[in-house]
Amino acid sequence: MTTAYVALEGDHVIEGRGRAPGTARGELVFTTAYTGYEESLTDPSYEEQVLTFSYPLIGNYGVREERFEDDHVHPRAVLAKELTDDVAAWLADEAVPAVDRLDTREIVTEIRDGGAMKCGIAVGDDATEDDALEQLERCKPMSDHTEIGTQVSVDDPSVRGADNDRETVALIDCGAKDSIVDSLVARDAQVHVLPYDATVDTVTDVDPDVLFVSNGPGDPANYEQAVALVREFVDDIPVAGICLGQQIVARALGGTTEKMDFGHRGVNQPVLDVDSGQVVMTTQNHGYTVADPGDHLEVTQINVNDDTPEGLDGIDHDVITRQYHPEANPGPEDTLEFFDDVLAMAGDRSQRAVPADD
């Protein structure tokens, strides 16, 4: 059996079975999702994190590329009670260290009680506890990854749905899941995927009907250019955002954000719509949240478990954001109408922009 060690803050070292070799370090988090491991593992929001699956068996329906949310695995390492050979081989091919035969209930409880924490991983025939502890010592807090956007964003602009003839979306890619773009394209929108640090001129050249800020990893305070873009365009065109995008929009309009103890990661997060009283189940993956929306946004949806903001609407601007993932993948599809609402808001703007006939 290949040796594997997981070093947690406080120099607590756990031994497990190595399933994919290598060393890694990152913020240790967990997801409660029991399906959708392919989507979770390819979600860019897990960049610089070590992902623990609380569900005991990961890989029971194989690995299929059509379920991927990006072209590669993003967590720095993967922990589980049991990984199938298919998933272990996939992670090995991706050079992502993996460990199983762990008491994941204990790990999840430790994260829940102590918060997301730094960790180090060492897997291999010659791996030692000291190797894992060395990785732990070199691990940075998430807020120190100031250039994390460069690791997950596109390098150059591209267009999806080029032949579509509905609204034009300028999507600021801070680590967007493919299914977000797919959800917009499926509604006949033309989506211009732009780098996370796109300039004002780049957005202006697109002449969009809506500015859409995507999900992504890390601290929203480190996405200063995306914040500046929202401030620049919010008076002229509608703005939408998902997950990190909600946090960026809030910061742009005078709100504040903060790090959560262990975040929301899973496919069963209950969200209450304040006006209707309806509760929907949602997919989520974030470690930061909006602390105060400021004076220009109102909270329209909240998390049932902890009252954190899940939806924001503009008070004096055309703005709509969601902290959860309406596109799901994995998870329930209770909130897909969000994309219809975004395009309806954009359509209202584009119609207003057409001068009336003399």
pLDDT digits (tens, 9 = 90+) for 58-73: 999 999 999 999 999 9
For the beta carbon of residue 18, count every other beta carbon within 10 angstroms: 25
Class at the top of the CATH hierarchy for domain 3-140: alpha beta
Place of tokens 């709100």: 255
Closest alpha carbon to 160 in 212, 220, 238, 234:
212
Does 238 sit behind a cis peptide bond, omega within 30 degrees of 0 on the bond before it? no
Q: Is residue 277 annotated as involved in ligand binding?
A: no
Tell whether the model's pLDDT for residue 347 goes beyond 60: yes
Where exactly does CATH 3.40.50.880 map onto the chain? 149-352
Tell whether the model's pLDDT for residue 354 goes beyond 90: no
Tell which CATH classification among 3.40.50.720, 2.60.120.700, 2.60.40.10, 3.40.50.880 matches the domain 149-352.
3.40.50.880
Closest alpha carbon to 144 in 216, 221, 77, 74:
221
Q: Is residue 324 annotated as involved in ligand binding?
A: no
Tell whether the model's pLDDT for residue 31 goes beyond 80: yes
pLDDT of residue 358: 41
Q: Is residue 284 annotated as involved in ligand binding?
A: no
pTM assigned to the model: 0.96
Tell whether the model's pLDDT for residue 350 goes beyond 60: no
Where exactly does CATH 3.50.30.20 map onto the chain? 3-140
Strands annotated E in the chain: 3-8, 12-20, 22-31, 49-53, 57-58, 77-79, 82-83, 98-100, 117-123, 158-160, 168-173, 190-195, 210-213, 239-242, 256-273, 279-292, 297-303, 309-314, 319-322
The token duo for 356 is 């009336």
What percent of the chain lies above the pLDDT cut of 90? 95
The residues assigned a catalytic role are 243, 325, 327
Q: Is residue 216 annotated as involved in ligand binding?
A: yes
Report which secondary-structure segment, H or E, holds 205: helix 200-206
Q: Is residue 171 annotated as involved in ligand binding?
A: no
